A and B are shown apart, each in its own frame.
Chain A
Amino acid sequence: MDFLDYAFMQRALLAAVLVGITAPAVGIYLVQRRQALMGDGIGHVAMTGVGLGFLLTWSPVWMATLVSVLGAVLMELIRWYGKTRGDIALAMLFYGGMAGGVMFINLAPTGSNANLTSYLFGSLSTVSDSDVTAICVLAAFVVLVTLGLRRQLFAVSQDEEFARVTGLPVRVLNLLTAITAAVTVTVAMRVVGLLLVSALMVVPVAAAQQIGRSFAATFAIAMAIGVSVTIGGTVTSYYQDVPPGATIVLLTIGAFIVLTALAAPLARRRARGTAGGDTTADPAECAIPGSRAAADEVGV
């Protein structure tokens, strides 16, 4: 455990754990809404924020947060109002965001494509004290929203139409989800990089839903996977000279494969467990119900 002696490793591990918690916590609602690739889109838009941060010599993390929140709100508005051309508008937003990032960072006096690479693929060992502060504040916001409003967000993500009839402010909750996703992207940016952010939002959830039967269990398993792979990837990259971001993502996919392989026998055992209940239900489904008798006995 000698890696804990280094300040840069302590910062890296703290950032990694926070990402392991927050990314699946938001991702579960995105997966439920079938917007699994939204994180990817926000990641592209966040690049413009990073570029602007260098150009204006602002903190790239806070600038990326600002721009990706604006981008996420715009995406949500396109989802409401855009109908047939929605996908084209989203594509323009994504590629515009990416091109903007490359442009701004090259215009900046201190910026170069090398700086951009550290945001694209993560750069855990260069996480600074001010980065850690920003990551902690942003992660606290994400945890507060995703855990505090889990029932409301679950209802909206599961059945938007029904949620509206319960009187929940569906649009506000949708906007909040988009903003929280944008904040998570910037939290994860330094750890796994903007291009791999979406993997940490989606893959732990996909892995967890192979074995989870309830939303609560899936939520907990996804976060456990997230934290395990981010710590595992960070420590691996300390001992072996491998990029942490890529290691974390490959470990996540490994977890998905293992859990998928485990899921099939587990499902078979559960099916055997409930088989007794099903056989008692069968005769009722074959019987002719009483109220249909009049219609069936026709004397012509």
Chain B
Amino acid sequence: MTEPVVSLRGVRADLGSRPVLRGIDLTVRRGEVVALLGANGSGKSTAVRSIIGQVQTGAGEIRLFGADRRRFRDWHRVGYVPQRTTAAGGVPATVTEVVSSGRLSRARFGVLRKADHAAVRRALDLVGMADRAKDSVDALSGGQHQRVLIARALASEPELLIMDEPMAGVDLGSQEVLAHTLREQVSQGTTVLLVLHELGPLEPLIDRAVVLRDGCVVHDGPPPMAVGQHALPGHDHVHPHAPAGSEPFRTGLLS
């Protein structure tokens, strides 16, 4: 067994008075690609946000690269892609300016050196946005914006990528680019933990799927295979490990 990069043990979290995570266990080992699946409100976003310290946890233990999360300082080893917000406006910024922010986990309070600028350019190349480097992010489509956010995470050359719904609201062309980018990262040994609503074009990449429901892990194993009629968008996938009488696990687009 290789060293776990992310490990959660009995993690509980509340939002207000509502329990969102009710004691979840999750381990991601080096080089693995793990998808966190579940319906809206199942706690999958809260789970990744607890890993990065954005959500306070009530109980349990979170370790990153073997260190307790509260004492973890090597943030340049982690690339984070938040759920894209559609809220536009504010002060204009170029693609390069946004992606350069991702380099701060290495540069910290120092000036950006030649190597830093090169890393930013490389990250833009990886997502196929190098030709838009000087454009304002406001002028981009949803899919292009998402690619910029992924480039920002890649700018620190991370060993672990955490992505929250990277395919939400992304056009098919960009989905293909993202899948390709991710494939390249994985082939170079990057560990990936992603929150997904449906497996979609990333399916062939995923080693393991963890399914959450009502803040509990209900499945941890190979991704649910969709074949034949089950692959049709909108088809409900009844998971064999689910407790008897429980709601079918819905992978379909229409759910």
Does A162 make an interface contact (CB < 8 A)? Answer: yes
B104/A168 in contact, CB under 8 A? yes
B54/A291 in contact, CB under 8 A? no
8 A Cβ contacts from A256-300 to B: 274, 277, 281, 284-285, 287-292, 294-295, 298-300
Does A158 make an interface contact (CB < 8 A)? Answer: yes
8 A Cβ contacts from B140-182 to A: 143, 152, 156, 171-176, 179
Does B102 make an interface contact (CB < 8 A)? Answer: yes
A167/B73 in contact, CB under 8 A? yes
B231 contacts which of A166, A212, A295 (Cβ < 8 Å)?
Answer: A295
Residues of A within 8 A of B78 (CB): 165
For the complex, give the distance between the alpha carbons of A151 and B102 in Å: 10
How many residues does chain A have at the interface if contact means C-beta atoms less than 8 Å apart?
A: 44
Q: A34-B90, A164-B53 are in contact. List 19 more A-B contacts (CB 8 A).
A: A31-B90, A152-B109, A165-B80, A166-B75, A166-B156, A167-B108, A205-B91, A213-B136, A214-B92, A214-B94, A284-B173, A285-B173, A289-B172, A291-B179, A291-B203, A292-B172, A292-B201, A298-B228, A298-B232
Question: Interface code B73-94, partner A: CB below 8 Å = 1, 0 otherwise?
Answer: 1011010101000000011111
Does A186 make an interface contact (CB < 8 A)? Answer: no
**Closest residue on chain A to residue B16 by CB atoms:** A83
Residues of A within 8 A of B101 (CB): 151, 154-155, 158-159, 162-163, 166
Tell me, rounded to whole Å, the shortest Cβ–Cβ distance linking A190 to chain B: 28
For the complex, give the distance between the alpha carbons of A152 and B104 in Å: 7
For the complex, give the distance between the alpha carbons of A143 and B101 in Å: 21
- Size range of the chain B interface in the assembly: 35 or more
Does A209 make an interface contact (CB < 8 A)? Answer: yes
B: residues with CB less than 8 A from A are 49, 52-54, 73, 75-76, 78, 80, 82, 90-94, 97-98, 100-102, 104-105, 107-109, 112, 131, 134-136, 139, 143, 152, 156, 171-176, 179, 201, 203-204, 226, 228-229, 231-232
A151/B229 in contact, CB under 8 A? no
Q: Pick 13 A–B contacts, CB within 8 A, sort by A.
A: A152-B109, A162-B102, A163-B104, A164-B52, A165-B75, A166-B105, A167-B76, A205-B91, A213-B135, A281-B173, A287-B173, A299-B228, A300-B228
Does A238 make an interface contact (CB < 8 A)? Answer: no
Residues of B within 8 A of A31 (CB): 90-91
A151 contacts which of B112, B171, B176 (Cβ < 8 Å)?
Answer: B112
A218/B152 in contact, CB under 8 A? no
Tell me, rounded to whole Å, the shortest Cβ–Cβ distance linking B224 to chain A: 13
For the complex, give the distance between the alpha carbons of A106 and B105 in Å: 52
Q: Beyond A152-B109, A291-B201, is A214–B102 a contact (Cβ under 8 Å)?
A: no
Q: Beyond A32-B91, A205-B91, A291-B204, is A158–B98 a contact (Cβ under 8 Å)?
A: yes
Tell me, rounded to whole Å, the shortest Cβ–Cβ distance linking A282 to chain B: 9
Q: Which 6 A-B pairs rank lowest in CB-CB distance, beginning with the nearest?
A: A167-B75, A166-B105, A285-B173, A155-B101, A165-B80, A284-B173
Residues of B within 8 A of A212 (CB): 92
- The secondary-structure label for the interface of chain A is helix
Residues of A within 8 A of B175 (CB): 289
For the complex, give the distance between the alpha carbons of A41 and B192 in Å: 44
Residues of B within 8 A of A164 (CB): 52-54
For the complex, give the distance between the alpha carbons of A290 and B204 in Å: 12
A167 contacts which of B97, B105, B112, B203 (Cβ < 8 Å)?
Answer: B105
Residues of A within 8 A of B201 (CB): 289, 291-292
A215/B105 in contact, CB under 8 A? no
Q: Beyond A285-B171, A291-B204, is A218–B104 a contact (Cβ under 8 Å)?
A: no
B97/A154 in contact, CB under 8 A? yes
A294/B90 in contact, CB under 8 A? no
For the complex, give the distance between the alpha carbons of A292 and B179 in Å: 12
For the complex, give the distance between the alpha carbons of A34 and B49 in Å: 23
Tell me, rounded to whole Å, the shortest Cβ–Cβ distance linking A285 to chain B: 4
**Closest residue on chain B to residue A288 by CB atoms:** B172
**Closest residue on chain A to residue B202 by CB atoms:** A291
Q: Beyond A216-B97, A287-B172, A300-B229, is A166–B92 a contact (Cβ under 8 Å)?
A: no
Q: Beyond A168-B104, A287-B173, is A161–B54 a contact (Cβ under 8 Å)?
A: yes
Tell me, rounded to whole Å, the shortest Cβ–Cβ distance linking A80 to chain B: 12
A162/B80 in contact, CB under 8 A? yes
Does A46 make an interface contact (CB < 8 A)? Answer: no
Does A201 make an interface contact (CB < 8 A)? Answer: no
Residues of B within 8 A of A213 (CB): 92, 94, 134-136
For the complex, give the distance between the alpha carbons of A28 and B90 in Å: 9
Residues of A within 8 A of B53 (CB): 164-165
B171/A214 in contact, CB under 8 A? no
